[in-house]
Chains A and B, each alone.
Chain A
């Protein structure tokens, strides 16, 4: 189907035209090629999974989209603008938000502060008002606090809102990180292994949150994930990477049956 067409899924969500497109991206670190000539698109409102064996370059791909790594070749097309590389600030301002593989929370701050940190771009009151605090700066702070509290309610983490995140168990840290990413009201949410290290219940909770975010807020989500069950259940389309190359791209059922994908995961007998 043409990438400009929108369609309606079985469960009634509308998936729109491609909102993010990466074309012929090549990323090298010195002599090591992390990503070789990869192209794929992400449609508005969909949940796009990026899967592949370890070291395939999935996180590097997200880093390119974020603007943290700059590819040597290729282009990124986002919201109609084409660039050869993203700058982190531009990515953030244009509504790209993410979580990280190794939980990059601000360890010295509480849950609430971390989520408020996600609102940085929405807070504008200038330096002088900040020095005074009473007045416009405080009003802005409270307004944003309300927004963050909604997120806290949504993620069911009210009890830990004042706890320093360093003291939280891993599963809750991941949830707080999701909250922080949501606080920025992203149009594209990048999740890097959001369920790594979780048990079955935690995975179910996290899946539910991800689906709710996509369904209720209409957020487009790109998600790196190792758990095939999760991918098959919640993803609309899948990209498979191996050794920096794209080896499959399509609906979950098709990808699952693809021989190249099976070989990559199970290894080919030589």
Chain B
């Protein structure tokens, strides 16, 4: 009886169009935000923040970005690793070229470089449909993997070939660099992710999101209805790459602290795609769920044998993790292609009628 919406009548279209029309959902979201902004920083250990929450949020943003392209617009992409890299390297160049600028602003701006390149590599999608698009995004992926190593200007001719995050302050608080605290970085990441999620949600619920879904579901009918495939697809690539780029910049500046080309390889592309699939294609909530799952899984798996009282060596855990992830992908695609988000939705459905069975 907790989740019943009976009695909540909408008397205006505006109310009906709200993103969280059910009162309980609105309470829930305020609760989550409160916990995220207030409780966790107060209670969480540095380890928890730095190894679990911050990367989780960063990957969730990437998953939202990829979901826009794959889940909402139906264009497959295996290039997310490279686009994260573009965001990271452009942020590095921006930060080193403009040492006095607000670093948070630069992080968000670096997404635009990913967006532009995303649009360029998205151009083929107008001719090439469905599965063949994988090749386009793989071309981008492997090309940029090569660029990150072979264009020394990108890492400021550093001997190690890596980019290292310099210390930057915003309003007298150290935000990046080795001295930044876990709490600061967590809160910055959280704020960026919350705002960008809100924007993504707005886009999806409006005219543009509808045009994306029209292209996904039946692009011919969409075109005959006046949707210009060029605008719709390129806007999807642009927005998606923007989000992935910002997430890449945050990956290096707010979490890793330094990086070479490795975190942006094709395996990363696969991982983010897995987050989207397991979380649920076409679902913002799913992006968070998927990111949490994929990111927490290896940590959990490492902890489990100890929990049960026996030791397992690290490599075995890695191998078993791979098997579990692969197995779960297959499981989800067979049983519930709409992923964890659908499972949660079904659970909420049960909640609606609880304690009655139906």
- Do A and B touch directly, given a CB cutoff of 8 Å in the complex? yes
The answer to whether residues A89 and B228 also contact, given A116-B210, A130-B207, A137-B206 and a CB cut-off of 8 A, is yes
The answer to whether residues A131 and B213 also contact, given A68-B220, A93-B226 and a CB cut-off of 8 A, is no
Establish whether residues B224 and A88, one from each chain, have CB atoms under 8 Å apart when the complex forms: yes
Separation of A132 and B216 alpha carbons in the complex (Å) = 24
* Total of A-B residue pairs, C-beta within 8 Å: 91
List residues of chain B with CB within 8 A of the CB of A107: 217-218
List residues of chain B with CB within 8 A of the CB of A132: 202
List residues of chain A with CB within 8 A of the CB of B154: none
Which parts of B319-357 form the interface with A (CB within 8 Å)? none
**Nearest Cβ on chain A to B331's Cβ, whole angstroms:** 22
The answer to whether residues A145 and B225 also contact, given A120-B210, A130-B207 and a CB cut-off of 8 A, is no
> Cβ of B24 < 8 Å from any Cβ of A?
no
Establish whether residues A142 and B217, one from each chain, have CB atoms under 8 Å apart when the complex forms: no
**Nearest Cβ on chain A to B199's Cβ, whole angstroms:** 5
List residues of chain A with CB within 8 A of the CB of B223: 68, 88-89
Q: Is the interface of A mostly helix, strand, loop or mixed?
A: helix
Instruction: From A121-129, A199-207, A259-267, give the one contacting chain B.
Output: A121-129
List residues of chain B with CB within 8 A of the CB of A91: 224
| Residue from B14, B208, B217 having most chain A Cβ neighbours under 10 A | B217
Separation of A225 and B224 alpha carbons in the complex (Å) = 21
List residues of chain B with CB within 8 A of the CB of A131: 199, 202-203
- Which of A66, A89, A120, A184 sits near B207, CB closer than 8 Å? A120
Establish whether residues B203 and A117, one from each chain, have CB atoms under 8 Å apart when the complex forms: no
The answer to whether residues A145 and B221 also contact, given A89-B226, A109-B213 and a CB cut-off of 8 A, is no
> Cβ of A100 < 8 Å from any Cβ of B?
yes
> Cβ of B240 < 8 Å from any Cβ of A?
no
Which parts of B225-269 form the interface with A (CB within 8 Å)? 225-228, 235
Establish whether residues B224 and A141, one from each chain, have CB atoms under 8 Å apart when the complex forms: no
List residues of chain B with CB within 8 A of the CB of A66: 224
Separation of A98 and B224 alpha carbons in the complex (Å) = 8
Which parts of B116-172 form the interface with A (CB within 8 Å)? none
> Cβ of B214 < 8 Å from any Cβ of A?
yes
> Cβ of B177 < 8 Å from any Cβ of A?
no
> Cβ of B114 < 8 Å from any Cβ of A?
no
Which parts of A109-123 form the interface with B (CB within 8 Å)? 109, 113, 116-118, 120-121, 123
Establish whether residues B217 and A108, one from each chain, have CB atoms under 8 Å apart when the complex forms: yes
Least CB separation from A121: chain B residue: B226
**Nearest Cβ on chain B to A230's Cβ, whole angstroms:** 24
List residues of chain A with CB within 8 A of the CB of B203: 130-131
> Cβ of A213 < 8 Å from any Cβ of B?
no
> Cβ of B79 < 8 Å from any Cβ of A?
no
Establish whether residues A120 and B225, one from each chain, have CB atoms under 8 Å apart when the complex forms: yes
Separation of A89 and B217 alpha carbons in the complex (Å) = 18
- Which of A108, A118, A184 sits near B216, CB closer than 8 Å? A108
Separation of A123 and B207 alpha carbons in the complex (Å) = 7
Establish whether residues B13 and A127, one from each chain, have CB atoms under 8 Å apart when the complex forms: no
Separation of A97 and B226 alpha carbons in the complex (Å) = 9
Establish whether residues A130 and B202, one from each chain, have CB atoms under 8 Å apart when the complex forms: yes
Which parts of A34-81 form the interface with B (CB within 8 Å)? 66-68
Separation of A109 and B214 alpha carbons in the complex (Å) = 9
Establish whether residues A127 and B224, one from each chain, have CB atoms under 8 Å apart when the complex forms: no
> Cβ of A209 < 8 Å from any Cβ of B?
no
Establish whether residues B205 and A133, one from each chain, have CB atoms under 8 Å apart when the complex forms: yes
List residues of chain A with CB within 8 A of the CB of B205: 133
Please encode chain B, from 183 to 203, with 1 for each CB lying within 8 Å of some chain A CB and 0 for all others. 000000000000000010011
**Nearest Cβ on chain A to B223's Cβ, whole angstroms:** 5
The answer to whether residues A184 and B202 also contact, given A113-B210, A127-B208, A141-B17 and a CB cut-off of 8 A, is no
List residues of chain A with CB within 8 A of the CB of B220: 68, 104
The answer to whether residues A117 and B225 also contact, given A109-B217, A137-B206 and a CB cut-off of 8 A, is yes
Least CB separation from B206: chain A residue: A130
> Cβ of B282 < 8 Å from any Cβ of A?
yes
List residues of chain B with CB within 8 A of the CB of A100: 221
Separation of A132 and B225 alpha carbons in the complex (Å) = 25
Establish whether residues B226 and A130, one from each chain, have CB atoms under 8 Å apart when the complex forms: no
The answer to whether residues A120 and B202 also contact, given A89-B226, A141-B17 and a CB cut-off of 8 A, is no
Establish whether residues B227 and A138, one from each chain, have CB atoms under 8 Å apart when the complex forms: no
Least CB separation from A112: chain B residue: B16
> Cβ of A211 < 8 Å from any Cβ of B?
no
Separation of A132 and B227 alpha carbons in the complex (Å) = 22
The answer to whether residues A141 and B216 also contact, given A91-B224, A117-B225 and a CB cut-off of 8 A, is no
**Nearest Cβ on chain A to B326's Cβ, whole angstroms:** 27
Least CB separation from B208: chain A residue: A130
Establish whether residues A120 and B214, one from each chain, have CB atoms under 8 Å apart when the complex forms: yes
List residues of chain A with CB within 8 A of the CB of B206: 130, 133, 137, 141
Which parts of A189-210 form the interface with B (CB within 8 Å)? none
- Which of A92, A108, A138 sits near B213, CB closer than 8 Å? A108
List residues of chain A with CB within 8 A of the CB of B90: none
A-B CB contact pairs (8 Å), 8 listed: A68-B223, A97-B225, A100-B221, A106-B213, A108-B216, A109-B213, A109-B217, A133-B206
- Kindly list 15 other residue pairs between chains A and B, CB separation below 8 angstroms, not including A89-B228, A141-B206, A141-B207: A88-B223, A89-B223, A92-B226, A105-B221, A106-B221, A108-B282, A109-B210, A120-B226, A130-B203, A130-B206, A132-B202, A138-B17, A140-B207, A141-B17, A145-B17
